[in-house]
Amino acid sequence: MNRDTIVELNQDIGCYLLRFIDGLDATNFIEAVNNTNQFSSIAKTLDHHFIELFKGFCGHQRILLPRVLFESFTEDYEIDDTRLRLVSKYYSDVIEPSERLYVHPCFSTSGFAKLCEVYKTSLFECYSRLVPLNNVWYSADFDLLNYESYVHTIGSERLLNDHEKKLFKVNTYFSEQPGRTSDLHPMFVSTMKEFKQNLIVRFSSNLWMAAIDFSKWALVGGCVLNALCQSPFPDTSEQDINLVYCIDDILAFTTAVNVAISRLNQSILTNINTGIKMEKIPGTPSYNVFLPCNVRLNFTWMPIRNSKAPLSHILHNFDMDICQVAFNGKYIHISERFLKHTYILGHRIVSTFAFLQALATKSFISYTLYARSPKHLCDRIQKYCNRGFKLLEPVDFDGNFDELMAQEEIPPYRIEQHQYIDDDGDIQTVQKEFRRPFLDNIDTFQLQEKFIDMICPELLRCK
């Protein structure tokens, strides 16, 4: 035997080693050694493996969120102490959003890490799509997947499984609309080279990418998804490039935007000899930058709160699982005798587990959808349906899309003039600002509870 010889072991040893790792370490280990000569098959693919691990959360206490976080909502909502939920004070004839004031232990970051060992089971496929329904105030420091490593496993094409069908139904409203183009069947690239080439062809990234400091910014959402598709979206020419700031410092954000714009000006002038235009989006901290190559960059700041994994927190709080993907860069420090101090920028495509399940099934979940959802959300849903993805609506969804799509569009920001009579009888005029509220993910239809009830109802009795 020489030092390059691979020693044959067995499944038991591989499974024993899994006791000492969890989360992404466990999935990476399984991906690396499963079905090899060394360990044979160690991946757990049967649902009873998931159920056995899931039952281990019995007796664990709920993770309570600080009550003070919800005191600002008490004008329209009240706290139901029996169910630990924030509920509306007003009667409604539809199911209204009801915010949990806690996190189920099985849907916590530590619970998720434990269950990653059984990521190949159909129960985990369904479970992972429900994780983004946690309260937005909970730090979503979940592991993110390297797209290139998992697109052919977790992301491989499949049908909706029986567990998903118990919680969701495929919406047919948008596919039946008159004038809709023929159904698309998205196929996806598997390498960074293909992805970058698509970015160049569809979004002229060769003209502006070098100006972006990917130690602070990440390319996120629909534009990344577009570049991952082998064929461009029908509305590619109308898409923005969304760049999100990965540091929780609003003052530093403004500085970072100015630095990026300065570098963009230098880069664009070198290539096109035409300047760029910038506008601050009213009522938000965000900026739009219009490039002469007909590309619009959107620089956005999002609250990260106390998260230790900012990009993961941002992606898990995106309102659609099909958008929970990012292209980022890491500065890797190389220190060698001849290179001295060299920094190499290594790019990665990362995503949530839910994103790869959305790709695999060519379907998506809208985590803010309910019977009174605003028009702009329904327009976004229609956009992704027209791009070849199916909307999964909760089985208890009680809305009417004919009525929702007929609503008046609420602008993101507007100023209204209001007149009133003061104490002296004089007419005074005041301006009022109105901002379209940002929609947080919320488990309106209690899908996490329904999932738990399917697997282990005892967990719902945990306090």
Phi/psi of residue 135, nearest 5 degrees? -60, 140
What average pLDDT does the structure give for the chain? 86
The C-alpha atoms of residue 419 and residue 408 are separated, in whole angstroms, by 24
In this prediction, residue 4 has a pLDDT band, given cuts at 50, 70 and 90, of: low
Q: How far apart are CA 412 and CA 4, in angstroms?
A: 62
Q: Is the pLDDT of residue 67 over 90?
A: no
- pLDDT confidence band for 276 (50 / 70 / 90): confident
> Kind and range of the H or E element at 110?
helix 109-115
Q: State the pLDDT confidence band at 253, using cuts at 50, 70 and 90.
A: very high
**426 CB-near residues (< 8 Å, 6+ apart):** none
The 3 state secondary structure assigned to 86-97 is: EEECCCCCCCCC
Q: What is the pLDDT of residues 148-169, one digit of tens each?
A: 999 999 999 999 999 999 999 9
DSSP state of 189: -
Residue 375 has pLDDT above 50, yes or no: yes
The four Cα atoms 161, 165, 171, 176 give a dihedral, to 10 degrees, of: 60
Check whether 334 has a pLDDT greater than 50: no
**CA-to-CA distance for 21 and 32, rounded, in angstroms?**
14
CA distance 417 to 236: 38
The answer on pLDDT for 420 being more than 80 is no
Task: Answer whether 0.85 is exceeded by the pTM.
Answer: yes
Cα(115)–Cα(436) distance, integer angstroms:
38
Asked if the model's pLDDT at residue 205 lies above 50, the reply is: yes
User: From start to end of 385-426, where are the E strands?
Assistant: 390-394, 413-421
Strand 295-301 versus strand 241-245 pairing type:
parallel
Under the banding of pLDDT at 50, 70 and 90, the label for residue 413 is confident
Q: What is the C-alpha end-to-end distance of the chain, expressed in Å?
A: 57
